[in-house]
Structure 1
Amino acid sequence: MLDDRWERAATYGFTTTGVPPSSFVAKPRSHDDGPAHGMFLGPIGGPAFSRDLTGRFSRWHLQPGTHLLADVDAAFLAVHWEAGGEHRHVLLRADEVGRHETAVLYPVAHERFSGADLPFVLTLSSFSPVIPGLEEESGLPVVLFDVRVEAAAGTSRLPALDVALFWPNLNGWNPSMLTSDDRGDRAWPGHHHAGNTNTPVDDGLAGASVLQGRETPGPLNPGQQVCLSVTGDADEFTRQVQFKTDQNATGVPESRQVFTLGAVRHGFATTGRLGITPDGSWSAHWHEPVGSAVAGHVRAGRDSAAVRFAVAFDWPAVRFGAGRTWRRHYAAGDERPSAVELATRAHQHGDEWLGAIDEWHRRTLGRVTAAGWSAPVAGCVVNELGLVSALGSAWVDGTFAGHEPPDAVLRGDEHVAVLEGFDEGYFYYNTSDLWHYAFPAFTLHWPRLAETVFADLGDALSGEDATVRPVYRVGEHRRLLRANRLPHDLGSPMEDPFVRLNGYVMRDDPNTWRDSAPAHVLARLLHAKLQGKPVSEPAWHRLRAAAEAAAAQVTDGSGVPRHDEFGDSTWDNLALSGHSTYATALYTGMWSVLAQQAGARGEDPTAYEARRDAAADVLGQLWNGEFFRAASEGKYVEAVMPDSAWGLFYADLCGATTGVDPERMRAHLHAAYEICHLGYDGGRVGPLLIGERGLSAYERDGGEELQVNEVLIGSAWMFAAMLRHYGLADDADRVAASLREVLYGGSGLQFRTPAAIDRAGRFRAPLNMRPLAISWLAV
């Protein structure tokens, strides 16, 4: 099975034999982790971390919303063997072996270590059970490392060998609450070690285990524990319970500093065993980092061996910036699983989970390629799903006693959220304008979680917050949240998410956004269509109320509001004026689907049909004989936006009649392909968000060069899906191939997909939600 998994990952996924060159650099105020990074490991809701392309653990999302770049040298895997009477020892890192290959197909990252000096080939497969269709498993805070060792070519049998996982006690991890680009603590000073202690575990697991704990008194601190464990078909297992993970300036060689990593590692390197140096358990001081190690040992003469390591986090509490403390979903029941129980479950069900992953891979890759997409693009669809757990995700279910939010707009206890991004301006949960692009990633794979997000957005539509604060763009005081207006976001992890909503009401006023209501109505009804389940009556009435509030923004009887204020849509850095194709298509689509739904529910659709026809007339006025113009007035009257008609695309998927000629849609999309894709660096990096013939670049709007002169990755994936839907398969393939090459073709952007790139080799806002729109390729 391992060979099949490797072959599948190599055919469809991301592969490399080293760190790719950095083809892109960050724009100002965007963080830049560098080109070496790999797939994130960990569940929806965290904790999560990633192992990079050199074999180092270097990116950490241990609390929702925190992104820390830190090479934690005390976290590593190592192998020891005997050859010719000598002890040999290497870490499983690229610089210590002759050849290091990587093949990734989410949620499994495979690494293969080989070389002239190794009498075996070792394959490391790292994964968490974030598996579509297995909702509860996708939230389990466990990471598995499967090691398989086989005799090298020309070698009939394995030597005696030993494999170990060294892991620091991460309890107390608490980085400063700053956006990623502003963070100064890029090493480990945010980790307060006081009270950390490790103890042996002798019950529940057959191999060797250590429980890493923390002495944490207090009614609101339920304690943190991590279980480090090893099982498999090894012949023996050992462990080192506790050691200091850095060295002491005593003048004594590191290998002789007992109770430290140096001595433990030296013991493993020279004997292949753990526990041969002094060991024990003690309470660490605040500046005393400690760790543990577990190992499996294989006798000589076998042709292969398999060892499984698991790291299981029982970290039940999530404390956001304002101090409110929530329970992680896995810990919300009456019988919260312990770290040891989580580890036991991982060892017992790991093979079952891998089988479920295999089946999902076969099913999804088969469906995407059957739709006409190439194998590399199909693999990109799968790998980009990793953003679900990489975007600082939160999955909480109720607060701790005394932390209940008073008069909360959101009525449920359970909340699921992903960040728009980790940089300033993006550091918000479930930004609605991006969710409307990204929701199929949840709807197709974890539909109840998508339902939970839509329920929160529905509650937010029904609520209001009369708090008044300045909005800097317009220089006025504005209300934080108006009734029947969709908030931009469900809060920031820096503040009080799920309680203090619409945090973006500072830079701009999302209450004025022309696209929010129609985009939400379309997304919510399309989610229901994809699930084959009608929306409930309360949800239907909320959607109708939101549509009526949107209609109140229309003052000319056209069925579509004008853009009268800078930044009054998701494209808040574009100076769209008058009527835009983007908003007009959304309104045309919304009225079309509402008319369809009203008729299906036995209600009178006449008013919706009239508004649909009026909106379609406005869209007709934007038609110039070749494409729908981006705007009716101002700077962009001759421009085209490739995905601007996605409101009609959603309506088509809902099966509604829009009154718009499909031939016009095809002509619009092909013109956008020629102008914005082929016309921008020959299509090398994808289609511009907005462009026009004969113009190489726009002057910036709104003080920053954002959105103009950029390829918006999520928007481009939506465009590719629309091209194929409307019969432009060749155009779709070329756009998708360009995007796949940018992300996974050796550019250094793998597993940190940005919001935007440009032909000058710059990127903006890495790890961004909108690119989850690639899931439309799987619909």
Structure 2
Amino acid sequence: MTNQLSSVIPPCTWSRPIGLGWDKPYTVRYASNIDDGPWHGMPLGGFGAGCIGRSSRGDFNLWHIDGGEHTFKNIPACQFSVFESDGTSSIAYALSTQAPDDGSLQTWQWYPENTGTYHALYPRSWFVYENVFQAKLTCEQFSPIWENNYQETSYPVAVFLWNAHNPTDQAITLSIMLTWQNMVGWFTNALKSPQVKIRDDGSPVYEYQPRLGESQNNYNELVENNQQIGCVLKRVASDAPIQEGDGSWCIATLKHPQVEVFHHTRWDPDGDGGDVWESFAKNGALPNYTDATPASEDTQLGTAIAVHFTLQPGETLEIPFVLSWDFPVTEFAAGINCYRRYTDFFGRDCNNAWAIATTALQEYQNWRSQIQTWQQPILERQDLPDWLKMALFNELYDLTSGGTLWSAASKLDPIGQFAVLECLDYRWYESLDVRLYGSFALLMLFPELEKSVIRAFARAIPHSDNHQRVIGYYYTIGADTTTAARKIAGATPHDLGAPNEHVWEKTNYTCYQDCNLWKDLGSDFVLQVYRDFLLTGAEDVDFLADCWPAIVQTLNYLKTFDQDGDGIPENSGAPDQTFDDWRLQGVSAYCGGLWLAALQAAIAISDILLTNRREKLRAGVPPVEQTSPIGDAARTVGAENTETNLGEFGDLAVQKSTYETWLKQSRPIYEEKLWNGQYYRLDSESGSDVVMADQLCGQFYARLLSLPDIVSSDRALSALKTVYDACFLKFSNGQFGAANGVRPDGSPENPQATHPLEVWTGINFGLAAFLVQMEMKDEALRLTQAVVQQIYDNGLQFRTPEAITASGTFRASTYLRAMAIWGIYLVWNRA
């Protein structure tokens, strides 16, 4: 605790009056999609540790404690409260404007709306309380997350740093109370083998039933040492191995000569709350009641600590509270468990919430300083508008709350494996087509985690899974039931699996489309490999070596879709790429451009590996490729590949020559079939005149990676200006962002279409990055600002969707692709 003023809240936060609702927030486009409503705030907790969320009305309501699963519910007993007295009168409020709707805690007084401001700039947020208390009160919230930090960033902890200042001419007595409900055992699926079904939109889903309210044998105990005091919330241990849901919570604070700390370890959250509120509202105290008796069936337990102090006129005091949790196991399918990354530092016995809390109370000032040091250079930039700085940091929320997994370290993965869901509605990890855009944030801030994801894809490409599955797309259009093998050897998987199976080991979970037929995934993989190498210093040749066998496999596999032998794989007429409701036929601008860029990237990679091989041989050292973890599995792709000896890279020079031949053949075909004198056609066979917003994603990536242009600069600029005019300016007068595809006059080709008439947040941010790359910064900012305003003005903050529409609906909240906004920042710095 320090007698000092708190740090200044940056001017570029997202802010909103405490408790102020939305007149007309966005709502879901499809009833089957998740729509929690607009009350989302910045999440708290480390990557892969589970997280919680506290909204701008002050309630704790987001519970992503079980990896990959979503629980949204206000738990009123989890709350801060403040008592204030000037010696003649006193007041006390629980600091949420949302009173319980279940009849509980009726003795509590709830904070009035619009009497203060909430600010958020991930990973920090602030509540500034005004016009209620005489004291000036601010609560700053954060978790220890900053770039290139592979330890504290994983911690399951939240710091609440209170700053209390007395601006009056008389003494003020204050008490700040943190109450918490014992929720040990709640966050795990009661259905250990839930049945997978096809939802009405064609997506595979399974039922999740958290064990909310199952508190039998839970208990709370007071813990303290010379410097810290808190309450630990546990469950009576059994002799069985630790399972998902086993663990502990802790609330704690510092001891200090200027304060008195009160406690109450057992009160009833289902009652009227008088057992803690009566004494607290009377004088800011608690009865110091201690009872560690385990709960019986149908009993709920709350605990509380309160810090009581007096401020003289002009005096300021900073008081830290810490919330920590320790649930070391994430369970995928029944019996398939994963330890979380933070257990590398705190152990796996599920009794470390107190150790985590005391660490936080020792280190919180250093942690906050590290966050400020990371953010400040961006916040100080004069060439970036405040709204862009705000969105850059706040869109990182998904790295915490996107169902994030971060496993404990292993010999093969020395910092563990990492994964973020595509979104809450499409609940599978690291969709490769989506992360082509959305992984820029991870690449720039946590490059080793980024490379761990790509290595996981490289390991998966050789494998096969012949299990036949229903393809959901055909289900939605009423076609005859169609099935397909889950994973074909050599095909790049769409994703790294889902929370109910075995993430990283069992891939290609989605069955909306047959992703073995997609024409972008293989190219996406190659481009991300080279990007991650190049933009992390261009020195990690081992990374390229690890991925090279998979690159050869997937390019050979993708080339088999070149049915007419012109050098470019054709789209089939089914939705077989990231726009998976949009039929493309023949050579397409999108997939064809990615193919050209990927061939160039593969040629560049082969050059690097050839140089490395020559240098190793001259030095008498075995070449790095002989240690590739993919190994012999890469040799089983099929007859077309068996002569290349992929396990030992085969003849790199031959592979390079093959890609050069394909590239030479493909490039003129792309121009001949697609260029119409103004922009690139959607595809070569449908006859559509639609202007596709992302038609030149391949060109963007080629330039990003300092590869030769796949189209001439003048044609790229002409196409980009056409996109900006048709898809953005002429689509709803530029209010919402760029639609995916409209005619040159801005009108829809098919008014009933889904994907073409949606504004995809991540695609727009990728398009804006392309505009910056082509020296159209003003246009990039105008486009980006339109999308950012739609998100942050209409109740979509901290749940950014994949898509919004001009009618005020959204689809697929908490979407990975939106972190593409960091691609704008990357290109801006290189422009």
Q: Work out whether residues 38 and 750 of structure 1, in 8 Å CA contact, stay in contact via their aligned partners in 2.
A: yes
Aligned position for 2:52: 49
- What SS does structure 2 have at the residue aligned with 1:292? strand
Instruction: Say yes or no: does 1:641 pair with 2:674.
Output: no
Question: What is the rounded CA distance, in whole Å, between the counterparts of 1:463 and 1:183 in structure 2?
Answer: 25
Question: What is the rounded CA distance, in whole Å, between the counterparts of 1:141 and 1:749 in structure 2?
Answer: 25
Instruction: Say yes or no: does 1:262 pair with 2:274.
Output: yes
Alignment of 1:664-675 (within 5 A): 664-675=715-726
- How many residue pairs get matched? 739
Instruction: Say yes or no: does 1:554 pair with 2:562.
Output: yes
Aligned position for 1:306: 318
Question: What is the rounded CA distance, in whole Å, between the counterparts of 1:3 and 1:715 in structure 2?
Answer: 42
- What SS does structure 1 have at the residue aligned with 2:118? strand
Give the AA of the match of 1:146: L
Q: Work out whether residues 127 and 138 of structure 2, in 8 Å CA contact, stay in contact via their aligned partners in 1.
A: yes
Aligned position for 2:73: 70
Alignment of 1:590-609 (within 5 A): 590-602=598-610, 604=653, 605-609=656-660
Alignment of 1:183-262 (within 5 A): 190-203=212-225, 206-221=227-242, 223-231=246-254, 234-247=258-271, 254=272, 261-262=273-274
Aligned position for 1:250: none
Alignment of 1:334-413 (within 5 A): 335-336=347-348, 338-366=352-380, 369=381, 372-397=383-408
Aligned position for 2:444: 444
Q: Work out whether residues 690 and 749 of structure 2, in 8 Å CA contact, stay in contact via their aligned partners in 1.
A: no
Question: What is the rounded CA distance, in whole Å, between the counterparts of 1:569 and 1:136 in structure 2?
Answer: 37
Give the AA of the match of 1:772: M
Q: Cα RMSD over matched residues? A: 2.6
Question: What is the rounded CA distance, in whole Å, between the counterparts of 1:616 and 1:545 in structure 2?
Answer: 22
Q: Work out whether residues 326 and 398 of structure 1, in 8 Å CA contact, stay in contact via their aligned partners in 2.
A: no
Match of 1:166 among 176, 179, 182: 179
The alpha carbon displacement at 1:288 in A equals: 1.3
Alignment of 1:283-298 (within 5 A): 283-298=294-309
Deviation string, structure 1 residues 469-488 (Cα, Å, up to 9, x no partner): 34354644422211121111
Alignment of 1:629-708 (within 5 A): 629-634=681-686, 637-694=688-745, 696-699=747-750, 705-708=753-756
Aligned position for 2:544: 536
Question: What is the rounded CA distance, in whole Å, between the counterparts of 1:653 and 1:158 in structure 2?
Answer: 61
Change (3 A) 1:411 1:508: farther
Aligned position for 2:627: none
Question: What is the rounded CA distance, in whole Å, between the counterparts of 1:698 and 1:271 in structure 2?
Answer: 68
The alpha carbon displacement at 1:96 in A equals: 1.8
The alpha carbon displacement at 1:388 in A equals: 0.8
- What SS does structure 1 have at the residue aligned with 2:75? coil
The alpha carbon displacement at 1:738 in A equals: 0.4
Give the AA of the match of 1:111: F
Match of 1:493 among 471, 496, 499: 499
Match of 2:39 among 27, 36, 46: 36
Q: Work out whether residues 87 and 172 of structure 2, in 8 Å CA contact, stay in contact via their aligned partners in 1.
A: no
Question: What is the rounded CA distance, in whole Å, between the counterparts of 1:530 and 1:308 in structure 2?
Answer: 39
Aligned position for 2:465: 465
Instruction: Identify unmatched segments of 5+ residues in structure 1.
Output: 248-253, 255-260, 400-409
Percent identity, aligned pairs only? 24
The alpha carbon displacement at 1:435 in A equals: 1.7
Q: Work out whether residues 130 and 137 of structure 1, in 8 Å CA contact, stay in contact via their aligned partners in 2.
A: yes
Question: What is the rounded CA distance, in whole Å, between the counterparts of 2:221 and 2:334 in structure 1?
Answer: 33
Deviation string, structure 1 residues 75-116 (Cα, Å, up to 9, x no partner): 11011121343332112234624612011111001110010x
The alpha carbon displacement at 1:411 in A equals: 8.9
Change (3 A) 1:469 1:760: closer
Q: Work out whether residues 49 and 341 of structure 2, in 8 Å CA contact, stay in contact via their aligned partners in 1.
A: no
Aligned position for 1:257: none
Question: What is the rounded CA distance, in whole Å, between the counterparts of 2:249 and 2:40 in structure 1?
Answer: 24
Q: Work out whether residues 232 and 306 of structure 1, in 8 Å CA contact, stay in contact via their aligned partners in 2.
A: no
Aligned position for 2:126: 110
Aligned position for 1:618: 669
- What SS does structure 2 have at the residue aligned with 1:754? coil
Residues 579-588 or 208-217, more deviating: 208-217
The alpha carbon displacement at 1:211 in A equals: 1.1
Question: What is the rounded CA distance, in whole Å, between the counterparts of 2:356 and 2:217 in structure 1?
Answer: 23
Question: What is the rounded CA distance, in whole Å, between the counterparts of 2:310 and 2:69 in structure 1?
Answer: 43
Give the AA of the match of 1:105: L
The alpha carbon displacement at 1:16 in A equals: 4.3
Q: Work out whether residues 208 and 295 of structure 1, in 8 Å CA contact, stay in contact via their aligned partners in 2.
A: no
Give the AA of the match of 1:319: E
Question: What is the rounded CA distance, in whole Å, between the counterparts of 2:262 and 2:768 in structure 1?
Answer: 53
Question: What is the rounded CA distance, in whole Å, between the counterparts of 1:547 and 1:495 in structure 2?
Answer: 28
Question: What is the rounded CA distance, in whole Å, between the counterparts of 1:558 and 1:6 in structure 2?
Answer: 61
- What SS does structure 2 have at the residue aligned with 1:397? coil
Change (3 A) 1:700 1:549: farther
Give the AA of the match of 1:129: P
Question: What is the rounded CA distance, in whole Å, between the counterparts of 2:241 and 2:432 in structure 1?
Answer: 32
- What SS does structure 1 have at the residue aligned with 2:445? coil
The alpha carbon displacement at 1:696 in A equals: 2.9
Aligned position for 2:646: none
Residues 749-758 or 438-447, more deviating: 438-447
Question: What is the rounded CA distance, in whole Å, between the counterparts of 1:709 and 1:776 in structure 2?
Answer: 23
The alpha carbon displacement at 1:695 in A equals: 5.4
Match of 1:762 among 791, 799, 809: 809
Q: Work out whether residues 63 and 71 of structure 2, in 8 Å CA contact, stay in contact via their aligned partners in 1.
A: yes
Question: What is the rounded CA distance, in whole Å, between the counterparts of 1:104 and 1:672 in structure 2?
Answer: 33
Deviation string, structure 1 residues 12-47 (Cα, Å, up to 9, x no partner): 544445333333111112211112221111111132
Question: What is the rounded CA distance, in whole Å, between the counterparts of 2:241 and 2:573 in structure 1?
Answer: 46
Aligned position for 1:145: 160
Aligned position for 1:414: 416
Give the AA of the match of 1:723: L
Question: What is the rounded CA distance, in whole Å, between the counterparts of 1:326 and 1:379 in structure 2?
Answer: 34
Question: What is the rounded CA distance, in whole Å, between the counterparts of 2:557 and 2:747 in structure 1?
Answer: 39
- What SS does structure 2 have at the residue aligned with 1:96? coil
Question: What is the rounded CA distance, in whole Å, between the counterparts of 1:262 and 1:393 in structure 2?
Answer: 38
Instruction: Say yes or no: does 1:752 pair with 2:799.
Output: yes
The alpha carbon displacement at 1:271 in A equals: 2.1
Aligned position for 2:637: none
Q: Work out whether residues 24 and 763 of structure 1, in 8 Å CA contact, stay in contact via their aligned partners in 2.
A: yes
The alpha carbon displacement at 1:541 in A equals: 2.6
Instruction: Say yes or no: does 1:59 pair with 2:110.
Output: no
Question: What is the rounded CA distance, in whole Å, between the counterparts of 1:596 and 1:491 in structure 2?
Answer: 30
Q: Work out whether residues 757 and 764 of structure 1, in 8 Å CA contact, stay in contact via their aligned partners in 2.
A: yes
The alpha carbon displacement at 1:133 in A equals: 1.8
Question: What is the rounded CA distance, in whole Å, between the counterparts of 1:214 and 1:411 in structure 2?
Answer: 32
